[in-house]
Structure 1
Amino acid sequence: MKVKKFTAATSRDALRKVREALGPDAVILSNRPVDGVVEILALDNDDVASLASPSPDSEMAQPQPRLDHFADAEELAPAFAAPRRMAEPATPAFSTRRMPEPQPEPAFEPAPTYANRRAPAPEPAFDMAAMSSMMSAAIAQAKESAAAEMHGMMSEIRAMRGLMETQLAELSWNATAQREPHKATVLREMLAAGFSVTLARYLVDKMPAVKDAGEALRWIKTVLARNLTTIANEDDLLSRGGVFALVGPTGVGKTTTTAKLAARCVMRHGPDKLALITTDAYRIGGHEQLRIYGKILGVMVHSVKDEADLRIALKELKNKHTVLIDTIGMSQRDQMVTEQVAMLSESGADVKRLLCLNSTSTNETLNEVVRAYQGSGLAGCIMTKLDEAASIGNVLDVVIRQKLNLHYISNGQRVPEDLHLADRAMLVDRAFRNRKEGGVSEADLPLMMGNLGGMHNDRGLREVSLG
């Protein structure tokens, strides 16, 4: 007879070892915890069958005493059923039953001794909500830090890209100026006439091969005149009639231009076919100026304060051939501009808005004015104060790039003499004749050309027709 000992971390693992070594008919002699592991003593079934029954007076026939530590093990480790049955007096020392199939059970925990056996200490409460909040805060902080770092990195990349584009543009322009000096001459002429740097550089880059600066300048003038959109004659406005509202910033000359248009309408159709409306109820004496013109022309002037008044007035005047509305002037940066555009658009009539552009304003200011008063679309524009402008390339530049339909030009205070139909060739020729003296120096051109990195992203330039 050969008794074998098997140890493992858990009873299940120990029983598996017994089954693998001795087979499913092995006899378990003992099952107890020893030093943190489970120890099983087992015997092969063949060895048990060869044994004879013990004599009545032998120690093997006597009942085995019940030890206290096995009683404790019954209370604290109920999983070990085999040792408990062996400790009962009525149970023989050896068993011939088949070894049970190993069942899943929790990992073995050694039973505490009498010296250290105490009530288990309560585990600290785990606040899941607090932990989740801490994790969320940490994740949010990490995201913010990553976003800030990414933003800074992208800013640096954009700055580096802009610097590289500037330097490359300067090098490219220097090479172009040395190879084709007539382009530098034409570029200085356009800048002196008031045209923007972007439009001037765009046309110079697209210029075909020419012999000299004179031929290059003629090509530039032709392209500029081709891209100026004007009305062919006054029949497009006076004969067709309708409701027209003159809009624009303060002091641009809307009231005087309205009077000039009114005089032309009276001369064409008579005073009965015309009506005048003013919305300028804020400026002191604003509506009186138009009333004076109306009295001279024999035309009734109606004053409105809001959209409701405008609706009523337009409904009453629907039988008129032409209705001219003189609006209140306000800065292009005033929020009331949007309200004024909405009032005219929602008046219940097809109001065509004509934007008055001050020829003395800078290119940047005129672009702001167009963007502010654009709304759902402008019917056209009128150039005012042409007689006060040192150069008019700035306003022509805006008209070309914003694709505005130029109706009239106003060059004085006389009514109605100082209002003329726009002549494209005359305006372009006048722009170059009235150019600023001195202009841009040769040394400043490379720096100006280097600051045009986003020139090719300008949609207005892409729509310029080169013929």
Structure 2
Amino acid sequence: AQRAAPAADTAEMARLTQQMAAAIAHAKDSAAAEMSGMMSEIRAMRGMMESQLAEISWGSTQRREPQKAVLLRHMLGAGFSATLARYMIEKLPAGLSAGDGLRWIKSVLGKNLSTMANEDAMLEQGGVFALVGPTGVGKTTSTAKLAARCVMRHGPEKLALITTDAYRIGAHEQLRIYGKILGVMVHAVKDEADLRIALKELRNKHTVLIDTVGVSQRDQMVTEQVAMLQGAGVDVKRLLCLNATATQDTLNEVVNAYQGSGLAGCIMTKLDEAASIGNVLDVVIRQKLNLFYVSNGQRVPEDLHLADRGYLIDRAFKLKGAAASQFSDAELPLLMAQTRNLREVHLG
């Protein structure tokens, strides 16, 4: 009995220790949750204060410098995001008229729009290029247009075409028809193993163009497609086709999904169908993409052009439509207050 008492005391002590540890852990969790809640409230209050101050600031700016409101409307009407528009207006040199301010904005946008200086970097150097992007953005037609340029430069024997599009009815047939016209063989592959074999057999070709299956940016297959191209055994340069008629949010989703370990560049498609192109230029600038070509029609190869930054920036402002007048003077400060800070633009 005397030996049992210490054992009971030990068990009681262990039980009390566990209870104390549990109480301390609960107190810590409660304190952490409370602190997290307080920090969330502080951040929310800070955001509200920043928005209100920004709204007041922009309202004051409109009254003092009405030309900035004019320029803001120009940028919004051209399709550029409110975030980029706010950044540009805030960095606008003092004392500029609306006309001079617009020229300054065009100049800065042009300096931040990365394009190919000439086609030699692609056509002369050659290599393996894969055109990627969602369904219906014009990958197959763009592949045919690029193929025609390669054939005109080096001849059909230096080019090979590959299609991975085994899903869409007639996709292989469409590219095969283009290949027959150009005198170029088209190879169909189903998976990474097929692609590795095909590229090994075509290693002596100067240029290989791959027309990939269109995949929604929200589909997990995008990751699989990127992995397939990266595991092909050779350096496959991916060119993302961006539909100029798509919304800016959609374009951002597409770029983020297809980015992978990096894109060699992009091709702007459906320029002829777009009511505005500031949306796609905004994404190209902010995502720091290299714009290779612009496609503005179905004709092969005529409707594919080397991207001209000056022309594209001018066209963006000439195409501005109803968006320029969709915000009233009272709404502009509120719109600007809701934009995020932007650091991706460098003033040259």
Q: How high is the TM-score relative to the length of structure 1?
A: 0.71
Matched, 1:465 2:346: yes
Aligned to 1:37: none
Separation in structure 1 between the aligned mates of residue 2 and residue 120 of structure 2, nearest angstrom: 104
**1:120 deviation in Å?**
8.8
Q: For the structure 1 residues 239 and 122, does the alpha-carbon distance in structure 2 shift closer, same or farther, using more than 3 Å as the test?
A: closer
**1:306 deviation in Å?**
1.1
Matched, 1:319 2:210: no
Aligned to 1:272: 157
Separation in structure 2 between the aligned mates of residue 248 and residue 122 of structure 1, nearest angstrom: 76
Q: For the structure 1 residues 418 and 144, does the alpha-carbon distance in structure 2 shift closer, same or farther, using more than 3 Å as the test?
A: same
> 1:297-352: per-residue Cα shift (whole Å, max 9, x none)?
11111111111111111010010011000111111121221121121112111111
Provide the aligned length of Structure 1 versus Structure 2: 343
Q: For the structure 1 residues 423 and 121, does the alpha-carbon distance in structure 2 shift closer, same or farther, using more than 3 Å as the test?
A: closer
Superposed CA RMSD: 1.7
> 1:363-401: per-residue Cα shift (whole Å, max 9, x none)?
111111111111111111100011111100000111111
> 1:398-445: per-residue Cα shift (whole Å, max 9, x none)?
111111111100011111111111111111111111112234321210
Matched, 1:371 2:276: no
**1:146 deviation in Å?**
1.4
Separation in structure 2 between the aligned mates of residue 284 and residue 133 of structure 1, nearest angstrom: 67
Matched, 1:282 2:167: yes
Q: Aligned to 1:251, what secondary structure does the other structure show?
A: coil
Separation in structure 1 between the aligned mates of residue 233 and residue 2 of structure 2, nearest angstrom: 85
Q: Aligned to 1:138, what secondary structure does the other structure show?
A: helix
Aligned to 2:321: 436
> 1:435-465: per-residue Cα shift (whole Å, max 9, x none)?
122343212101011113x41xx442xxx23
Question: Amino acid of the residue matched to residue 198 of structure 1?
Answer: T
The partner residue of 2:243 within 348, 354, 358 is 358
Separation in structure 1 between the aligned mates of residue 292 and residue 78 of structure 2, nearest angstrom: 22
Moved over 4 A (4+): 119-124
Matched, 1:185 2:70: yes
> 1:54-78: per-residue Cα shift (whole Å, max 9, x none)?
xxxxxxxxxxxxxxxxxxxxxxxxx
Structure with more helix by fraction: 2
Aligned to 1:257: 142
The share of aligned pairs that are identical, in percent, is 75
Question: Amino acid of the residue matched to residue 130 of structure 1?
Answer: R
Higher RCO by CA contacts (8 Å cutoff, separation 6 or greater): 2
Aligned to 2:267: 382
Question: Amino acid of the residue matched to residue 140 of structure 1?
Answer: A
Q: Give yes or no for contact 1:273–1:322 (8 Å, CA) kept in 2.
A: yes
Q: Aligned to 2:148, what secondary structure does the other structure show?
A: helix
Q: Aligned to 2:240, what secondary structure does the other structure show?
A: strand
Matched, 1:451 2:332: no
Larger radius of gyration: 1
Q: Give yes or no for contact 1:231–1:422 (8 Å, CA) kept in 2.
A: yes
Q: Aligned to 1:355, what secondary structure does the other structure show?
A: strand
**1:278 deviation in Å?**
0.7
Q: Aligned to 1:347, what secondary structure does the other structure show?
A: coil
Q: For the structure 1 residues 171 and 299, does the alpha-carbon distance in structure 2 shift closer, same or farther, using more than 3 Å as the test?
A: same
**Structure 2: gaps spanning 5 or more residues:** none
Q: Give yes or no for contact 1:359–1:383 (8 Å, CA) kept in 2.
A: yes
**1:123 deviation in Å?**
4.6
Aligned to 1:157: 42
Q: Give yes or no for contact 1:191–1:440 (8 Å, CA) kept in 2.
A: no
Matched, 1:397 2:282: yes
Aligned to 2:303: 418
Question: Amino acid of the residue matched to residue 252 of structure 1?
Answer: V
Q: How high is the TM-score relative to the length of structure 2?
A: 0.94
Q: Aligned to 1:219, what secondary structure does the other structure show?
A: helix
